[in-house]
Amino acid sequence: ASIILIGVGFWVRYRVEESPVFEDKVEGREQSLPIAFALKNNWWPILLGMMILPIASGFYYLATTFVQNYAIEDVGIAAQHVLLAMTIASFTELLVTMPLAFLADKWGGKTMMYIGIFGSMLTMVPLMLVIGGGQIALMYIMVSLVRVMMSATWAPLATIMAQMFRPQSRYTSMSLSYGLGAAIWGGLSPIAALTLLEITGTPWSVVGLIAVMALINAVAMFLAPQHSDEASVTASYEPRLDTTASSKIDNTDNN
């Protein structure tokens, strides 16, 4: 299944054309060593990009791996209830991501990101309460609600990160920023949460960790630059035809 998805991804990517503005800016400016150019010119946005991932990446593993382990091992809730709640939450996340992306286009990506950051932090509090109290019915609801809030950080993430970098080294900078950030937050957050729980004996230390992650995320989001590739519309503007349409027109004229 993964191989099929990779193939579909490559097909979609190579069928999509870059914007005229993007192509104009990078024309004749190919970098012989893009990673060196990115680190020299985009080191600050790359760091900021890593810092806008605590909730979208690290929190995901807390809301899944940590919550699952805490509910089953520490509280003693039956595994089938916890796993079913997680499955329903995953399906809920699938359903809401596209509408949230649509709202991000209307309200602004940063606005949606803030909603997700603070919404994730705030919904984690009642989730810990209902799990700690063994309230299974409410657990089903809260696990899904937490994932909805987290999806609000995922939905606008690609657009926000793309606009953080100039076209000349955008792909390399995004790859560095997201790859390193996801590895750090996604890899260390569950370890930090389990360590805090073991040391303190209370899940509220983990909620405190999430609050710190949300604060870092929000500050980085506030500082993140947003570059636009939009071209101004003038009287001489002519709509651009895609290559498929152009080739069909040329073939028709030749015939």
Domains belonging to the chain, first-starting first, are: 33-223 (1.20.1250.20)
Distance CA 166, CA 81 (A): 47
Question: Residues 122, 125, 128, CA angle at the centre, nearest 5°?
Answer: 150
Given the structure tokens 């060196």, which residue do they identify?
A: 36
pLDDT at 165: 86
Distance CA 105, CA 98 (A): 11
Q: Going residue by residue through the chain (255 aa), what tens digit of pLDDT does each one get?
A: 445 655 655 555 555 555 555 555 555 555 567 788 888 888 999 999 999 999 999 999 999 999 999 999 999 999 999 999 999 999 999 999 999 999 999 999 999 999 999 999 999 999 999 999 999 999 999 999 999 999 999 999 988 998 898 777 788 888 899 999 999 999 999 999 999 999 999 999 999 999 999 999 999 999 998 877 654 444 444 544 444 444 444 554 555
pLDDT at 29: 55
Distance CA 70, CA 184 (A): 22
Distance CA 160, CA 113 (A): 9
pLDDT at 148: 97
Distance CA 39, CA 52 (A): 18
pLDDT at 8: 57
Angstrom CA distances, 149 to 78, 119, 134, stand at: 25, 5, 23
Tokens of 31: 């970098």
pLDDT at 41: 84
If one counts every other C-beta atom within 10 angstroms of the C-beta of residue 214, the result is 23
